[in-house]
Amino acid sequence: MTEIVCSHCGKVQEAFRGNYRYLESGLDNVIICGVDLIDCDCGETSALIPRIIALHEAIADCLLEQDTYLSGKEIRFLRKNLGLKGKVFANLVGVDQATLSRWENDKSKPSARADRLIRFLYASKKKPEKAEEIASLTYKTPPPDQPKPPLHLLADTRKQYSCVRECR
């Protein structure tokens, strides 16, 4: 079994496999299935997450493929994963920076056309093989009181990530 040093107190703990809510992504609904975790005596729970860049690419893939409109946090995640400042991203999408800020802070929602353009922009830069598919997708609007469903990402033994319906 792997041993991990607690990032909070520095104590060495034995790791176990489990599911981790990955809030560090900036998204509330990302769960990584099957990663090494520790529950330290100090009360801190830590995860050993290999290949962060690959994980963020897999999260973006899940976002591109979901059938609901992007939330503000999801738009911000895609923009940051492209490495773009708000002003540059807003120009590429064809809106002013204030509009992008309202979208990213969930003060207003982008139109269906803007949502598709954001996904297409991301796909054309990072996943060109998906760009044509993204252009033809249609999305559902979730009920206003219903939270976004979780994004489950499975970490396999080769440290690869993939979208799954639920953790097992």
Same domain, residue pair 34 and 75: no
φ, ψ (nearest 5 deg) of residue 88: -65, -45
In the predicted model, what is the mean pLDDT of the chain? 88
Same domain, residue pair 125 and 161: no
Range of the domain at 160: 1-51+149-168
Name which residue leads in pLDDT, 166 or 135. Answer: 166
Same domain, residue pair 77 and 113: yes
Which residues, 6 or more positions from 127, have their beta carbon under 8 angstroms from its beta carbon? 60, 61, 64
Quick check: 121 pLDDT over 90?
A: yes
Residue type present at position 139: Y
What does pTM read for this prediction? 0.86
Specify if 4 maps to a domain. Answer: yes
Same domain, residue pair 135 and 73: yes
* Alpha carbons 120 and 114: distance in angstroms, whole number: 10
Question: What CATH number did the domain enclosing 109 receive?
Answer: 1.10.260.40
Same domain, residue pair 27 and 77: no
* Alpha carbons 84 and 98: distance in angstroms, whole number: 16
**Residue 129: pLDDT band with limits 50, 70, 90:** confident
Same domain, residue pair 86 and 120: yes
What mean pLDDT comes out for the span 97-120? 94
Which stretch of DSSP H or E encloses residue 35?
strand 30-39
Specify if 63 maps to a domain. Answer: no
Quick check: 147 pLDDT over 80?
A: no
What mean pLDDT comes out for the span 156-168? 83
pLDDT, position 71 = 93
Judged by phi (left if over 0) then psi (alpha if -120 to 50, else beta), residue 82 lies in alpha
Decide: residue 15, CB within 10 A, 0-12 exposed, 13-18 middle, 19+ buried: middle
Name which residue leads in pLDDT, 49 or 84. Answer: 84
Q: Are 64 and 119 in contact (CB under 8 A)?
A: yes
Residue type present at position 12: V
DSSP letters spanning 85-135:
-HHHHHHHHTS-HHHHHHHHTTSS---HHHHHHHHHHHHHHH-GGGHHHHH
Same domain, residue pair 77 and 132: yes
Specify if 61 maps to a domain. Answer: no
Same domain, residue pair 129 and 157: no
DSSP annotation of 22 reads -
Specify if 157 maps to a domain. Answer: yes
Same domain, residue pair 44 and 94: no
Specify if 21 maps to a domain. Answer: yes
Helix axes 72-82, 86-93, angle to 10 degrees: 110
